[in-house]
């Protein structure tokens, strides 16, 4: 596989991307329902891009209501080879300042009201999440932000909370004690589902505030978040174009984590015990692995 088809999941404030040639929209339905919005397809040079606003245009969907399975299934069905996620986040550490970007490399999942797997009764699988992001894609995305003049931290632990409320002071202090660097509401179960779909995934978390642990600043509010979010989103759009130009000159090679074949070591249900109807539902996600 030598060509890139990059799926872009836009977070809060990022509802479009710039510079697309041959732009078109596609309405998609998956075995897991409809995604958050229509897919926007196009290219920059030879690189194909497929854009999906996570919350829908106009920010219609709360973090809990985002159809994460449908979103990843839609990007997989669209032929995406890799997925880059953008999301707004709060900082839990002093060096991660508002308007900075963080190329996250670890997650702690504290969500509890979401469907977190494509697999289940009739076809069970357990993928490894020890290294939850594609190091190659994450590095290239971080390079693109830096090239556009942004401050980017290479590595950091993202705590995913359920929301939609922001943290209490006690929670914010607890997560700092755990060693978390940023906090958000949307990268889980998204990263887990991308891994199950054998899609190399990386995320750029865009810092909007210091959460509520920092006594010197006022507690997070939508008003002050929106101000920083506008700046971050403009930089993110430029970084996407820069990344596409980089990928045009870099033939695609497999993820160093072996993500494209991770299901070879994850399917546990014996072939004779697999539910044919469930396998059919999984066809877009996992047909390569079970020979369907």
The domains of the chain, with CATH numbers, are: 5-290 (3.40.50.1580)
Tokens read off for 122: 């009739």
Q: What is the C-alpha radius of gyration for the chain, rounded to an integer number of angstroms? A: 18
Tokens read off for 9: 């999941």
Per-residue pLDDT, averaged over 106-120, amounts to 98
Does 209 participate in catalysis according to the annotation?
A: yes
Of residues 86, 104, 100, the one with CA closest to residue 15: 86
Count the helices and strands in the chain (H runs, E runs). 7, 11
Q: Please give the Cα distance from 218 to 211 (Å, whole number).
A: 9
Q: Which of 82, 100, 109, 209 is catalytic?
A: 209
Per-residue pLDDT, averaged over 63-76, amounts to 98
Check residue 14 and give its pLDDT: 72
Map residue 241 onto helix, strand or coil. helix
Q: How confident is the model at residue 216 (pLDDT cuts 50, 70, 90)?
A: confident
Q: How confident is the model at residue 251 (pLDDT cuts 50, 70, 90)?
A: confident
Does 143 participate in catalysis according to the annotation?
A: no
Per-residue pLDDT, averaged over 62-82, amounts to 98
Check residue 222 and give its pLDDT: 61
Of residues 118, 197, 141, the one with CA closest to residue 8: 141
**Cα(first)–Cα(last) distance of the chain, in Å?**
20
Tokens read off for 7: 């799926």
For the chain, what's the residue count?
292
Q: Which of 82, 109, 181, 211 is catalytic?
A: 211
Q: CB burial class (10 A; 0-12, 13-18, 19+) of residue 25? A: exposed
Q: Please give the Cα distance from 7 to 51 (Å, whole number).
A: 6
What residues have CB less than 8 Å from 198, skipping those under 6 apart?
A: 259, 260, 261, 262, 263, 286, 288, 289
* Digit-coded pLDDT (tens) for 186-201: 999 999 999 999 999 9
Q: How confident is the model at residue 220 (pLDDT cuts 50, 70, 90)?
A: low
Q: Name the average pLDDT for the chain.
A: 93
Asked which of 1-15, 84-98, 153-167, 262-276 is least confident by mean pLDDT, the reply is 1-15
Decide: 182 and 96 in contact? Cβ < 8 Å: yes
| Helix (H), strand (E), coil (C) string for 113-151 | CCCCCCCECCECECCCCCCCCCHHHHHHHHHHHHHCCCC
Provide the percentage of residues in the chain whose pLDDT is more than 70: 95
pLDDT at residue 88 above 70?
A: yes
Q: How confident is the model at residue 229 (pLDDT cuts 50, 70, 90)?
A: confident
Of residues 124, 128, 127, the one with CA closest to residue 279: 124
Helix (H) or strand (E) holding 278: helix 276-281
Q: How confident is the model at residue 218 (pLDDT cuts 50, 70, 90)?
A: low
Provide the percentage of residues in the chain whose pLDDT is more than 90: 86
Q: How confident is the model at residue 11 (pLDDT cuts 50, 70, 90)?
A: confident
Per-residue pLDDT, averaged over 131-141, amounts to 97
pLDDT at residue 148 above 60?
A: yes
pLDDT at residue 259 above 60?
A: yes
Q: How confident is the model at residue 217 (pLDDT cuts 50, 70, 90)?
A: low
């Amino acid at each position: 596989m030598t060509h890139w088809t990059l799926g872009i999941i836009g977070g809060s404030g990022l509802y479009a991307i710039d510079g697309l040639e041959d732009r078109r929209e596609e309405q998609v339905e998956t075995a897991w329902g409809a995604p958050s919005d229509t897919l926007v397809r196009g290219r920059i040079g030879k690189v194909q891009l497929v854009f999906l606003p996570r919350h829908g245009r106009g920010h219609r969907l709360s973090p809990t209501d985002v159809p994460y399975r449908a979103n990843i299934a839609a990007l997989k069905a669209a032929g995406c080879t890799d997925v880059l996620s953008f999301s707004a986040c709060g900082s839990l550490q002093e060096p991660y300042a508002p308007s900075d970007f963080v190329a996250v490399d670890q997650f702690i999942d504290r969500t509890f009201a979401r469907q977190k797997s494509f697999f289940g009764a009739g076809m069970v699988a357990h993928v490894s999440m020890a290294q939850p992001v594609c190091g190659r894609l994450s590095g290239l995305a971080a390079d693109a932000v830096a090239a556009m003049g942004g401050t980017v931290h290479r590595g950091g632990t993202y705590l995913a909370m359920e929301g939609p409320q922001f943290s209490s002071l006690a929670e914010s202090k607890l997560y700092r004690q755990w060693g978390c660097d940023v906090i958000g509401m949307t990268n889980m179960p998204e990263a887990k589902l991308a891994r199950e779909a054998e899609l190399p995934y990386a995320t750029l978390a865009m810092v909007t505030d210091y959460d509520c642990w920092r006594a010197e600043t006022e507690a997070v509010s939508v008003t002050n978040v929106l101000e920083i979010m506008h700046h971050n989103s403009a930089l993110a759009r430029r970084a996407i174009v820069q990344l596409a130009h980089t990928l045009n000159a870099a033939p695609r090679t497999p993820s160093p984590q072996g993500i494209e074949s991770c299901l070879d070591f994850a399917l546990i249900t014996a072939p004779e015990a697999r539910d044919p109807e469930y396998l059919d539902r999984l066809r877009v996600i996992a047909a390569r692995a079970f020979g369907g």
